Chains A and B, each alone.
Chain A
Amino acid sequence: MNKKLRSKLQAALKDQPALQISEEHLIQTMQEARIAYQNRRHRERIRYSVFLLRQVRFVSAPVWPLHGLLLMCAFWLFGFAGIGGFSNFAPRHLPVLLGCFGVFIAMTSIPFVGRSMQYKMLETEMATRISIPKLLLARIFIIGIGNTLLLMVSFLLASTKAELGTGSIALYLLLPYLIACCGCLFIQAHAHNGQQGFVCTAFCFSLAALLFVLYKTAPVVYEQASASIWGALCAVCAVILITGIYRLLDKAASLDLSPNGI
């Protein structure tokens, strides 16, 4: 029995004065209850792991092709940089390239988390058995797999350059990625319906441009001495991102529709 229903029934029974229960009526009630139970609609429990697996093809369809494209870019930028004309290009610009790449990974995936609103699917999805927080969590998980894979491949490829320490590579990749994720989540929660995708793209391009400007005008930002600051910022952004996801799911749990539709 539904927990809420059980506690409500218990509370209702407590409020009732002691009743004289007739044996005959009790048996009749039990029989009726049995019949009702047998005739109930058989509802299989939705196992989240099964639901998650079934969601993979729907969530990944628009995101993973973009991830594939980025993966090819990663190989081109960081993997084959030693070949031909790119030999003098990649190693020197590696910090800013990693940063921009991190931003693009976030840009091509985070906006997909909240696409229900954009494509007016939210109302239909809300009226189904699975709750919106569970649906969002599935999307975040599936998108997260792609992102993690991309970040790891980029990290491993860039590590082969060996001019930078592995710690620095991780920071140059992660911090811009985390900032972009936080920004995109914030935009998802606050931008007007239908504009989220555009605003996220604009934000990420601006962030990439900022990284490039910093690299050109204040190269000290990318020096080894700044690594501790990058690390601290990474930790702060990770906390903000986790809090942001938690708040997004919490908000989704009490989601309501506006009078003018979605």
Chain B
Amino acid sequence: MELTIQELTKRYKDKTAVDNVSLTLTPGVWGLLGANGAGKTTLMRMVAGILTPTSGKVQYDGVEIKTLGEAYRDVFGYLPQVFGFYPEFTVADYLQYMAALKGLPKKETDTKIDELLHTLTLADVRNKHIRKLSGGMQRRVGIAQALLNDPDILILDEPTSGLDPGERIRFRNIISEFAQQRIVLISTHIVSDVEYIANRNTIMKDGQIIAVGTTDELVKKMDGKVWQSTIPAEQLHHYERSVRVVTVRNEEGGNVLVRYVSESQSLPDSQIAVPRLEDLYLWLFRSEEAVKEDAE
């Protein structure tokens, strides 16, 4: 099973949202990281077949998805960034409605809905109106609908927005389990969502893919660029202007432990730290801002 994105471009009047992106997705969890406006949603919509590219194509096992049509949508699960629902719908109504649109036979539908409600711990609210649920629960209902047809390809756009830490962990476990022999593409700007579950990560910036690889491969690029230093708290403001700070932790004696990314040691008594995906993300996405700030 293979989903091939070939030189995909989406251009609007004055903006190129996705610029000549090529990528081959194989079974496993793929993390699509990028800042807001990087082109993640546009790319996902084109992969979902609901947005026509300006140029390029998406192929599923060598056949263009446009040609496959309904057959592609049959193997496909999609959770959009904005979760919509009709106000009169209960959780069960919503899933029944989506099952009908996905062409699930009536007999299978009830069993599948029960199973998903149980997995996503929504069984208690199955007859509640969706509008009365919390944002996190609504998101889980969205995830449930994406899984209804047992898809081979699962595309989730910002699936964890609104989920609390416990729900995030549960979500990661469900996806990890689900991704066996399936392609799961998760778009997010929350690095920790994909750091531990994604087999491979793709980083997007200004409509282009700037890095692809496993978490370890990507993180390796940051070797020797992540530092830690303990400095007096009152000096933090001064150093924040010159280095890209990842985290700050208060220590005893009015000191702070600063983790930062830099080509070389920039703070006194700095020690090399073990890099994480978050460091790379900050390295790639703050450089532009830093240049802008310097220019100002």
A43 CA to B41 CA in the complex, in Å?
A: 29
Considering the complex, give the chain A residue whose CB is closest to the CB of B82. Answer: A120
Are A41 and B51 touching (Cβ within 8 A)? no
Q: Which of A2-10, A183-191, A215-223 interfaces with chain B?
A: A2-10
Are A130 and B98 touching (Cβ within 8 A)? no
In the complex, whether A250 has a CB less than 8 A from a CB of chain B is no
In the complex, whether B249 has a CB less than 8 A from a CB of chain A is no
Query: Which one of B51, B87, B98 lies within 8 Å of A124 (CB-CB)?
Result: B98
Are B67 and A257 touching (Cβ within 8 A)? no
Query: Which one of A122, A127, A261 lies within 8 Å of B78 (CB-CB)?
Result: A127
Instruction: Provide the A12-56 mask, 1 if CB < 8 A to any CB of B, else 0.
Output: 000000000000000000000000000001011010000100110
Are A44 and B105 touching (Cβ within 8 A)? yes
In the complex, whether B63 has a CB less than 8 A from a CB of chain A is yes
Query: Which one of A2, A124, A261 lies within 8 Å of B145 (CB-CB)?
Result: A124
Are B50 and A126 touching (Cβ within 8 A)? yes
A41, A55, A127 — most chain B CB neighbours (10 Å): A127
Instruction: Provide the A237-259 mask, 1 if CB < 8 A to any CB of B, else 0.
Output: 00000000000000000011101
Are B71 and A130 touching (Cβ within 8 A)? no
In the complex, whether A152 has a CB less than 8 A from a CB of chain B is no
- Number of B residues, CB within 8 Å of A: 46
Are B103 and A121 touching (Cβ within 8 A)? no
Contact partners of A124 in chain B: CB under 8 A: 78-80, 83-84, 98, 142, 145
Q: How large is the interface on A (under 10, 10 to 19, 20 to 34, 35 or more residues)?
A: 35 or more
What is the distance, in angstroms, from B161's C-beta to the closest C-beta of chain A? 14
Are A261 and B15 touching (Cβ within 8 A)? no
Knowing A62-B88, A124-B98, A261-B81 touch, does A256 contact B52 (C-beta < 8 A)?
yes
Are A127 and B48 touching (Cβ within 8 A)? yes
Are A44 and B97 touching (Cβ within 8 A)? no
In the complex, whether B93 has a CB less than 8 A from a CB of chain A is yes
Knowing A128-B101, A257-B45 touch, does A123 contact B50 (C-beta < 8 A)?
yes
Knowing A41-B152, A124-B84, A257-B45 touch, does A130 contact B101 (C-beta < 8 A)?
yes
A232 CA to B70 CA in the complex, in Å?
A: 43
Are B49 and A43 touching (Cβ within 8 A)? no
Are B50 and A259 touching (Cβ within 8 A)? no
Are B106 and A54 touching (Cβ within 8 A)? yes
A255 CA to B149 CA in the complex, in Å?
A: 23
Are B84 and A123 touching (Cβ within 8 A)? yes
What is the distance, in angstroms, from B150's C-beta to the closest C-beta of chain A? 9
B83, B100, B103, B106 — most chain A CB neighbours (10 Å): B100
Knowing A2-B69, A257-B50 touch, does A135 contact B101 (C-beta < 8 A)?
yes
Considering the complex, give the chain A residue whose CB is closest to the CB of B109. Answer: A54
A46, A115, A124, A256 — most chain B CB neighbours (10 Å): A124
Considering the complex, give the chain B residue whose CB is closest to the CB of A128. Answer: B101
Knowing A129-B102, A256-B51 touch, does A43 contact B81 (C-beta < 8 A)?
no
Are A127 and B71 touching (Cβ within 8 A)? no
A158 CA to B69 CA in the complex, in Å?
A: 50
Knowing A130-B101, A135-B101 touch, does A4 contact B67 (C-beta < 8 A)?
yes
Considering only residues 136-155 of chain B, those with a C-beta below 8 Å from chain A are 142, 145, 149, 152
Q: Which residues of B contact A (CB under 8 A)?
A: 12, 15, 17, 41-42, 45, 48-52, 63, 67-71, 73-76, 78-88, 93, 96-98, 100-103, 105-106, 142, 145, 149, 152
Q: Which 5 A-B pairs have the closest CB atoms?
A: A120-B84, A128-B101, A127-B78, A46-B103, A123-B80
